[in-house]
Chain A
Amino acid sequence: MATQILDGAEAMSIGGNEQERSLALAAQRGDSGAFRELYDAYRERIWTLVVYSIGDALQAQDVLQTVFLKAFRGLRSFRFQSSLFTWIYRIACNECRNYHRRRGIRHVPLEAILGSSDEMDRRPISDGLEARRVILRNAVIQLPFKMRDVIVLKYVEELSYEEMSRVLGCSPGTVASRLNRALAELEERLRPFRRFL
Chain B
Amino acid sequence: MSCLRFGLRKKFVPYLEGELPPREAKRVEKHLLDCGRCRAIFGRLRAGHRSAQQLRHLSPDGAHPAPEFETMMADVGEIVPVRHKWVRAWEDWFYALTTPRLVQVLMVLVLALTAVLVVSNRRYLFGDRNSGLDKSTALKFSEFHPLSIPELQSNTRPHIAIEGYVRDVHIDQEEGTLHFTLAEIPQGLGPFVICEIMSPIGMPIPRDGNRVRVYGVARYDAQPGREWYEVNPVLNIAVLKR
Contacts and interface: CB of A to CB of B under 8 A. Distances in A.
A186 B59 contact: no
B51 A197 contact: yes
Contacts of B9: 180
Q: Which size class do A's interface residues fall under?
A: 35 or more
Contacts of B41: 180, 184
B61 interface: yes
B13 A129 contact: no
Interface string A29-68: 1111000100110011011100110000100110011001
B81 interface: yes
A72 B78 CA distance: 12
A1 B65 CA distance: 12
A170 interface: no
A108 interface: no
B85 to A, nearest CB: 11
A99 B11 CA distance: 33
Interface in A71-89: 72-73, 76
Contacts of B76: 65, 69
Contact of B48 (A39, A46, A129, A186): A186
Contact of A158 (B44, B56, B71): B56
B69 interface: yes
A31 B88 CA distance: 13
Contact of B81 (A30, A47, A60): A30
Interface string B1-12: 000001001111
A65 B81 CA distance: 17
Interface of B: 6, 9-13, 41, 44-45, 47-49, 51-67, 69, 71-73, 75-76, 79-83, 88, 91
22 contacts: A31-B80, A32-B79, A36-B69, A39-B72, A64-B66, A64-B67, A65-B76, A133-B59, A155-B52, A155-B55, A155-B56, A173-B10, A177-B6, A180-B13, A183-B49, A185-B48, A186-B52, A187-B45, A187-B48, A187-B51, A188-B44, A190-B48
Given A176-B11, A187-B47, 5 more contacts: A5-B57, A64-B72, A139-B51, A182-B48, A183-B49
